[in-house]
Chain A
Amino acid sequence: MTLALVGFAALFIIILLRVPIAFAMAAVGFCGFAWILGIGPTLSMVGTTAFDAGLAYNLSVLPLFILMGNFVARAGLAGEIFHLAHVFLGRRPGGLAMATVVACGGFSAICGSSIATAATMSKVAIPSMRRYGYDESLACGSIAAGGTLGILIPPSVILVIYGVLTEESIGQLFAAGAIPGLLGILFYLAAVRWTVWRRPEAGPAAGPVAWSERWQALRNIWAVLLLFAVVIGGIYLGWFTPTEAAGIGAVGAFLFALARRRLTWPILYEILRESAVTTAMIFAILIGALIFTNFINFSGMPETMLDWIRGSDVSPLWVILAMMLCYLVLGCILESLSMILLTVPLFYPLVAEMGFSLIWFGILVVVVTEISLITPPVGLNVFVLKGFVPDVPVRRIFAGVLPFIAADVVRLALLLAVPALSLWLPDLLFG
């Protein structure tokens, strides 16, 4: 146990010294493992871990969903979703921020990643909100927060990783994410309303829109709906597995981009290359985290925690609450994927033992991960935004995100209290 704590401390320190997270986890994991088992087994462990992670079939969804997201962004679908939300919601106070949130939700339905959702929606929504004189912290906050929906509304890269770690059905996890995702949109809309209620000047109403323009916007949206219907519908109709859905989505999105004449050879190369590089970056983290968890596996920490929880008299729900708190704290500083890779293998056997549904727990984990993407000091979605609005101080963006974090915490509590919100749909579809 002490050794594990030393390991975690060392990890935090060298991460703060700006060692890339992947290498920090690998290095600390290596040293810790060697401390316990000696250098021979440790060297073998490193090679085996890298090889096994590289050849994991169910992780092939990662590059494919990333590729799909990149094609979709190039095909201009994000702009159409935003335009639709804009012509319906733009007239209200704060309407553009609401449109952004709804569009983020819509885009999440065809994109598996939160960062990608935030990045894509920034390109689309920031110019409009600036034009109408939106307060920059509300504008940035709504995108940074809205973007987090990307990993809850299916498809979701993080749910896939969770499913792989816990051996839960990815199809059921996807289904479980839908209602909490919709709730997320509603809660974020409320956060926008609250912001403009307090400061009406933050989100001035846009001009009126003719119904003809609305119909036009609706007609343009068919491509998005079709792609979503094929990818998600295909899973439930049994055409393909969730793993394969990513391949279908990638090829489908490619065809859209092609049909819209958005593709040239250089652009195609750029998309493929970018997707491959992002994949390698994720796998570097994955391999680092696996090496580190191998060390934790031998450190005695999991058993000590288990004994401690078994020995204490607290009710199981308190244990879950403690875990969520742990995530919220870790999430302030850790990168989301590493956080999941480090903690889920520790927590899920406990959760299962206490008799909770691992599908439900998966949704809770993803929601806290969403929160970690926008909490200071390290909130990746906020940094993505910052890249698009270099003139806005990070502090201002974090300020704009605060009401959304509050909305998230309320949603988390609701999902904790009412498991049916997560479990009803998967039970209906798979029960």
Chain B
Amino acid sequence: MILRRIDLVLGIVASLILAAIALLTFTDVVFRNAGTVIRGTVELTELMMGALIFTALPLVGFRDGHVTVELTQGVLTGMRGRIARQLTRLLSAAVLLVIGWQLAVKADRLASANDLTATLGLEKAPVAWFMAALCLIAGVLMLAELVSGRPDVPGGTVEAGAGTDAGADSGRGGAGT
């Protein structure tokens, strides 16, 4: 229940940021070709990219959507498979939590050094704080999954693997959605 609500909130925020990046790029080009330049589009895009990626990061974990090579499914079955699965989640959560922690350290550094963007002079620290928070949330959600011990729910993962090469709507491997 609460998970579904988190999913919805993050989904909407991520969608809005992505739409904003697309519209900003589009408007910038239109205005420039009409002779006016919007100041600071590059740095705005950069800040929004940081926010977008980390807003959507917990959503990737929700559906076991991280790209995984599944060649050993036949070998790791039963109890051994479950243990392997839990260890995998533990490692993933650890990585996310360490990155989140260090992003917070970075944010603190940016704030105390008063790092600004080049054109508009925006503070970089708030975006870094945002990235840190979302990365930590992704880590906590991964831990929650470990504790609840949800069985393997490959979101349409097929027998030997799933994922994308920088792909698009088939992000869920062969989900066929």
Distance between A365 CB and nearest chain B CB, rounded to angstroms: 13
Interface majority SS (helix, strand, loop, mixed), chain A: helix
With A67-B22, A280-B60 as contacts: A47 and B102 at CB distance below 8 Å? yes
B 25-50 to A, binary, CB cutoff 8 A, 1 in contact else 0: 11011000100000000110111011
**Please, how many angstroms separate the alpha-carbon atoms of A279 and B49 in the complex?**
10
Q: How many residues of B contact A (CB 8 A)?
A: 80
Q: Is B42's CB under 8 angstroms from A19's CB?
A: no
Q: Is B168's CB under 8 angstroms from A66's CB?
A: yes
Which residue of chain B lies nearest to A118 when distances are taken between CB atoms in the complex? B170
Q: Is B76's CB under 8 angstroms from A18's CB?
A: yes
Q: Is A20's CB under 8 angstroms from B67's CB?
A: yes
Distance between B83 CB and nearest chain A CB, rounded to angstroms: 10
Distance between B90 CB and nearest chain A CB, rounded to angstroms: 10
Of B84, B99, B105, B165, which is within 8 A of A335 by CB?
B165
In B64-88, which residues have CB < 8 Å from any A CB? 65-73, 76, 84-85, 87-88
B 1-44 to A, binary, CB cutoff 8 A, 1 in contact else 0: 00000000001101101110111111011000100000000110
Most interface-central of A16, A111, A272, A281 (chain B CB within 10 A): A281
Q: Is B106's CB under 8 angstroms from A48's CB?
A: yes
Cβ of B57 < 8 Å from any Cβ of A?
yes
Distance between A82 CB and nearest chain B CB, rounded to angstroms: 17
Cβ of A337 < 8 Å from any Cβ of B?
yes
In A250-284, which residues have CB < 8 Å from any B CB? 250-251, 254, 269, 271-284
With A47-B105, A247-B21, A277-B56 as contacts: A394 and B166 at CB distance below 8 Å? no
B 116-139 to A, binary, CB cutoff 8 A, 1 in contact else 0: 000000000001100100010000
Cβ of A77 < 8 Å from any Cβ of B?
no
With A116-B168, A277-B65 as contacts: A55 and B50 at CB distance below 8 Å? yes
Which residue of chain A lies nearest to B17 when distances are taken between CB atoms in the complex? A276
Cβ of A368 < 8 Å from any Cβ of B?
no
Cβ of B143 < 8 Å from any Cβ of A?
no
**Chain A contacts for B162, CB-based, 8 A:** 383
**Please, how many angstroms separate the alpha-carbon atoms of A279 and B169 in the complex?**
11
Q: Is A50's CB under 8 angstroms from B135's CB?
A: yes
**Please, how many angstroms separate the alpha-carbon atoms of A57 and B93 in the complex?**
28
**Chain B contacts for A64, CB-based, 8 A:** 21-22, 25
**Chain B contacts for A386, CB-based, 8 A:** 158-159, 174
Cβ of A145 < 8 Å from any Cβ of B?
no
Q: Is B50's CB under 8 angstroms from A54's CB?
A: yes
B 96-108 to A, binary, CB cutoff 8 A, 1 in contact else 0: 1011011101100
Q: Is B68's CB under 8 angstroms from A285's CB?
A: no
Distance between B167 CB and nearest chain A CB, rounded to angstroms: 3
Which of A84-92, A238-246, A307-315 is near enough to bind chain B? Answer: A238-246
Cβ of B175 < 8 Å from any Cβ of A?
yes
Q: Is A240's CB under 8 angstroms from B21's CB?
A: no
**Please, how many angstroms separate the alpha-carbon atoms of A43 and B47 in the complex?**
22
B 146-167 to A, binary, CB cutoff 8 A, 1 in contact else 0: 0000000000101111111111
Distance between B69 CB and nearest chain A CB, rounded to angstroms: 5
Most interface-central of B21, B25, B101, B102 (chain A CB within 10 A): B25
Q: Is B14's CB under 8 angstroms from A276's CB?
A: yes
Cβ of A356 < 8 Å from any Cβ of B?
no
Which residue of chain A lies nearest to B154 when distances are taken between CB atoms in the complex? A18
Distance between A107 CB and nearest chain B CB, rounded to angstroms: 11
**Chain A contacts for B163, CB-based, 8 A:** 21, 115, 281, 335, 380, 383
**Please, how many angstroms separate the alpha-carbon atoms of A20 and B145 in the complex?**
15
Q: Is A283's CB under 8 angstroms from B53's CB?
A: yes
**Please, how many angstroms separate the alpha-carbon atoms of A284 and B52 in the complex?**
12
Q: Is A113's CB under 8 angstroms from B15's CB?
A: no
Cβ of A297 < 8 Å from any Cβ of B?
no
**Please, how many angstroms separate the alpha-carbon atoms of A152 and B51 in the complex?**
30
Distance between B129 CB and nearest chain A CB, rounded to angstroms: 11
**Chain B contacts for A55, CB-based, 8 A:** 46-47, 49-50, 127
Which residue of chain B lies nearest to A370 when distances are taken between CB atoms in the complex? B165
**Chain A contacts for B171, CB-based, 8 A:** 274, 277-278, 281
Distance between B128 CB and nearest chain A CB, rounded to angstroms: 6
Which residue of chain B lies nearest to A74 when distances are taken between CB atoms in the complex? B169
Cβ of A17 < 8 Å from any Cβ of B?
yes
**Please, how many angstroms separate the alpha-carbon atoms of A82 and B84 in the complex?**
44
Cβ of A69 < 8 Å from any Cβ of B?
yes
Q: A47-B103, A250-B22 are in contact. List 4 more A-B contacts (CB 8 A).
A: A47-B105, A69-B168, A244-B29, A276-B18
Could you name 15 residue pairs across A and B whose Cβ atoms are closer than 8 Å? A17-B87, A50-B103, A50-B131, A51-B131, A55-B50, A113-B164, A116-B170, A251-B22, A269-B15, A273-B11, A278-B167, A284-B57, A377-B71, A383-B163, A386-B158
Residues of B in contact with A (beta carbons under 8 Å apart): 11-12, 14-15, 17-19, 21-26, 28-29, 33, 42-43, 45-47, 49-50, 52-57, 59-60, 65-73, 76, 84-85, 87-88, 91-92, 94-96, 98-99, 101-103, 105-106, 127-128, 131, 135, 156, 158-171, 173-176
Q: Which 7 pairs, one residue from A and one from B, show the smallest C-beta to C-beta distance?
A: A387-B174, A247-B25, A47-B102, A115-B167, A116-B168, A20-B66, A119-B170
Residues of A in contact with B (beta carbons under 8 Å apart): 14-24, 26-27, 30, 43-44, 46-48, 50-51, 54-57, 59-60, 62-64, 66-67, 69-70, 73, 111-116, 118-120, 151, 157-158, 161, 239-240, 244, 246-248, 250-251, 254, 269, 271-285, 287-288, 333, 335-337, 369, 373, 377-378, 380, 383-388, 390, 394
